[in-house]
A and B are shown apart, each in its own frame.
Chain A
Amino acid sequence: MEEKRKKKSGPIKSAIESESDVDTKLWSFITTRSTKSWFLCISLFALLIRLAVALHPYSGANTPPKFGDFEAQRHWMEITLNLPVKEWYRNSTANDLSYWGLDYPPLTAYQSYFHGILLKLFDPASVSLFASRGYESYLGKLLMRWTVLMSDLMIFFPAVLYFVTVYYSGKSTKDKSGMVWHTTMILLNPCLILIDHGHFQYNCISLGLTTAAVAAILSDRDLVGSMLFSLALNHKQMSAYYAPAFFAYLLGKCLRNKNPIIDVLKLGLVVLGTFAVVWWPYLYSMDASLEVLFRLAPFERGIYEDYVANFWCTTSVVLKWKRLFTTQSLKLLSLAATVSTCLPSMVQLIWSPTKHGFIHGLLNCSFSFYLFSFQVHEKSILLPLLPASFLALDEPFVFEWLIYNALLSMFPLLRRDKLVLAYTAIYGLFILLYHAPSGKKDTSKTNRFFSILKLFALACSLFLHVIYMTITPPDKYPYLVEAIIMIFCFSQFVLVLIYSNRKQWALFNTSTQVDTKKKSL
Chain B
Amino acid sequence: MKKPPNNHRHHIRWPALVAAAVKLLLIPVYRSTDFEVHRHWLALTHSLPLSQWYSDTTSPWTLDYPPFFAYFEKFLSLFASRVDPTITHLHNGLNYASPLTILFQRLSVVISDVVLVYSVFRLGKNGNFSKLERFLMWVLVIWSPGLFIVDHMHFQYNGFLLGWLLLSISCLEEGRDLIGGFVFAVLLCFKHLFAVAAPVYFVYLFRHYCRGGLVKGFGRLVLMGSAVLAVFAAAYGPFLYYGQIQVVLRRMFPFGRGLCHAYWAPNFWVFYIILDKFLSFFLAKLGFDIQAPKASFTGGLVGDSSPFAVLPTITPLITFITVLLAISPCLVKAWRNPQPRMVSRWVSYAYTCGFLFGWHVHEKASLHFVIPLSATALKSTEDAKHYFYLSIVSCYSLFPLLFEAQEYPIKVVFLLLHAVLMFFGFSSRFPGTSAATASTALKGTDNNKLETHAFHIGWFGKSYLFGLLVVEIWGQFLHPIVFGDRFPFLPLMMISIYCALGMMYSWFWQLKQITLTH
Tell whether A and B belong to one assembly: yes
Q: Whole-angstrom distance from the CB of A136 to the nearest CB of chain B?
A: 14
Please determine whether A426 and B424 come into contact, CB atoms closer than 8 angstroms: no
What residue in chain B is nearest A48 (Cβ atoms)?
A: B413
Measured between beta carbons, the chain B residues less than 8 angstroms from A432 are 14, 17-18, 21
Measured between beta carbons, the chain A residues less than 8 angstroms from B428 are 28-29, 32
What residue in chain A is nearest B29 (Cβ atoms)?
A: A55
Interface segment, B175-183, B285-293, B379-387, B404-412? B404-412
A422 adjacent to chain B (CB < 8 Å): yes
Please determine whether A424 and B24 come into contact, CB atoms closer than 8 angstroms: yes
Contact mask A117-137 → B, CB, 8 Å, 1/0? 000000000000000000000
Measured between beta carbons, the chain B residues less than 8 angstroms from A52 are 22, 25-26, 29, 410
Please determine whether B417 and A29 come into contact, CB atoms closer than 8 angstroms: no
- Bound-complex Cα distance A426 to B23 (A): 11
- Bound-complex Cα distance A51 to B429 (A): 31
Question: Which of A19, A20, A48, A146 neighbours the largest number of chain B CB atoms within 10 Å of its CB?
Answer: A48
| Range, interface on chain B | 35 or more
Please determine whether A37 and B424 come into contact, CB atoms closer than 8 angstroms: yes
Measured between beta carbons, the chain A residues less than 8 angstroms from B413 are 44, 47-48, 51
Contact mask A34-59 → B, CB, 8 Å, 1/0? 00010011001101110111011000
Please determine whether A25 and B441 come into contact, CB atoms closer than 8 angstroms: yes
- Bound-complex Cα distance A176 to B409 (A): 30
A276 adjacent to chain B (CB < 8 Å): no
Please determine whether B136 and A48 come into contact, CB atoms closer than 8 angstroms: no
What residue in chain B is nearest A141 (Cβ atoms)?
A: B406
Knowing A25-B442, A55-B406, A432-B21, the reply to whether A41 touches B131 (Cβ < 8 A) is: no
Q: Whole-angstrom distance from the CB of A168 to the nearest CB of chain B?
A: 18
Please determine whether B132 and A429 come into contact, CB atoms closer than 8 angstroms: no
Q: Whole-angstrom distance from the CB of A329 to the nearest CB of chain B?
A: 47
Measured between beta carbons, the chain A residues less than 8 angstroms from B469 are none
Q: Whole-angstrom distance from the CB of B374 to the nearest CB of chain A?
A: 15
Knowing A29-B424, A142-B405, the reply to whether A41 touches B22 (Cβ < 8 A) is: no
Measured between beta carbons, the chain B residues less than 8 angstroms from A41 are 417, 420-421, 424
Please determine whether B424 and A139 come into contact, CB atoms closer than 8 angstroms: no
Please determine whether B25 and A53 come into contact, CB atoms closer than 8 angstroms: yes
Question: Which of A24, A30, A139, A444 neighbours the largest number of chain B CB atoms within 10 Å of its CB?
Answer: A30
Measured between beta carbons, the chain B residues less than 8 angstroms from A19 are 1
Of the candidates A18, A29, A138, the one whose C-beta lies within 8 Å of that of B425 is A29
For the complex, would chain A's binding face be called helix, strand, loop or mixed by DSSP majority? helix
Knowing A41-B424, A52-B25, the reply to whether A26 touches B417 (Cβ < 8 A) is: no
Q: Whole-angstrom distance from the CB of B72 to the nearest CB of chain A?
A: 25
- Bound-complex Cα distance A48 to B25 (A): 10
Knowing A25-B131, A26-B131, A41-B421, the reply to whether A421 touches B1 (Cβ < 8 A) is: no
Question: Which of B17, B21, B24 neighbours the largest number of chain A CB atoms within 10 Å of its CB?
Answer: B21
- Across the A-B interface, how many residue pairs have beta carbons closer than 8 Å? 111
- Bound-complex Cα distance A146 to B413 (A): 14
Q: Whole-angstrom distance from the CB of A71 to the nearest CB of chain B?
A: 19
Contact mask A402-425 → B, CB, 8 Å, 1/0? 000000000000000000011011
Please determine whether A24 and B441 come into contact, CB atoms closer than 8 angstroms: yes
- Bound-complex Cα distance A421 to B104 (A): 13
Measured between beta carbons, the chain B residues less than 8 angstroms from A422 are 25
Please determine whether A51 and B409 come into contact, CB atoms closer than 8 angstroms: yes
B103 adjacent to chain A (CB < 8 Å): yes
A158 adjacent to chain B (CB < 8 Å): no
Q: Whole-angstrom distance from the CB of B513 to the nearest CB of chain A?
A: 25
B414 adjacent to chain A (CB < 8 Å): yes
What residue in chain A is nearest B444 (Cβ atoms)?
A: A21
Knowing A22-B7, A44-B417, A52-B410, the reply to whether A421 touches B21 (Cβ < 8 A) is: no
Of the candidates B1, B27, B406, B444, the one whose C-beta lies within 8 Å of that of A20 is B1
- Bound-complex Cα distance A142 to B135 (A): 36
Contact mask B1-41 → A, CB, 8 Å, 1/0? 10100010001001001101110111111000000000000
Please determine whether A421 and B441 come into contact, CB atoms closer than 8 angstroms: no
Knowing A20-B1, A41-B420, A47-B413, the reply to whether A32 touches B441 (Cβ < 8 A) is: yes
Please determine whether B103 and A421 come into contact, CB atoms closer than 8 angstroms: yes
Q: Whole-angstrom distance from the CB of B104 to the nearest CB of chain A?
A: 13
Please determine whether B132 and A26 come into contact, CB atoms closer than 8 angstroms: yes
Please determine whether B14 and A436 come into contact, CB atoms closer than 8 angstroms: yes
Q: Whole-angstrom distance from the CB of A151 to the nearest CB of chain B?
A: 15
B283 adjacent to chain A (CB < 8 Å): no
B315 adjacent to chain A (CB < 8 Å): no
Please determine whether A51 and B132 come into contact, CB atoms closer than 8 angstroms: no
What residue in chain B is nearest A143 (Cβ atoms)?
A: B405
A442 adjacent to chain B (CB < 8 Å): yes
Contact mask A365-378 → B, CB, 8 Å, 1/0? 00000000000000
Measured between beta carbons, the chain A residues less than 8 angstroms from B22 are 48-49, 52, 425, 429
Residues of B at the A interface (CB closer than 8 Å) are: 1, 3, 7, 11, 14, 17-18, 20-22, 24-29, 103, 131-132, 135-136, 405-406, 409-410, 413-414, 416-417, 420-421, 424-425, 427-429, 438-439, 441-442, 444-445
**A–B pairs, 22, beta carbons within 8 Å:** A18-B1, A21-B444, A22-B11, A22-B131, A26-B11, A26-B135, A28-B441, A29-B429, A32-B439, A41-B424, A44-B420, A48-B22, A52-B410, A55-B25, A55-B26, A55-B28, A422-B25, A425-B24, A425-B25, A426-B25, A429-B21, A429-B22
List 5 additional contacts besides A24-B441, A25-B445; criterion CB under 8 Å. A28-B442, A48-B414, A425-B25, A432-B18, A444-B1
